[in-house]
Amino acid sequence: MYIDYERIIAAMAVMSAATADFFSYKGDATYFYPGLGACGGHSTSSDLIVALNTQKYANGKHCGKQIAVHYNGKSVDAKVVDECPGCGSNDIDLSPAAFKKLAPLDKGRIQVTWEFK
């Protein structure tokens, strides 16, 4: 009996990438003043948007997707419009409007959980 291990490994990689979007992540959230984002559109400080770290941004794979961000019993949905090269592996950078839905801007950095919707 012949087993095509390369095909099995390739299928497992596809399944792993597809299910990665269903995980919840824990990381730091900061805020930034947007403009032209890596996804190609212009945003303002009043938009509910987010920049993902380079790995999660995945060359624009998540542009336009929504994430749900949670902190201290509060939540906000934000649209992926940008990349945050300086963010750590599960960290995100929110617009001021999105950040303010969770905490005052003077907090600067908060530990959140978030997931793709």
The pLDDT tens digits for 47-82 are 999 999 999 999 999 999 999 999 999 999 999 999
Half-sphere exposure at residue 112, Cβ-oriented, CA atoms within 13 angstroms:
31
| Within a domain: 62 | yes
Q: Is residue 4 part of a domain?
A: no
> In the predicted model, is pLDDT for residue 16 greater than 50?
no
pLDDT above 60 for 12: no
Looking at the structure of the chain, the number of domains it has is 1
Integer Cα distance of 117 and 115 in angstroms: 6
CATH number of the domain that residue 74 is part of:
2.40.40.10
Indicate whether 112 pLDDT > 60.
Answer: yes
8: part of which helix (H) or strand (E)? helix 5-19
Question: Which residue range(s) make up the domain with 68?
Answer: 23-116
Q: Which two tokens stand for residue 26?
A: 């824990």
pLDDT band at 14 (very low <50, low <70, confident <90, very high): very low
Q: Is residue 44 part of a domain?
A: yes
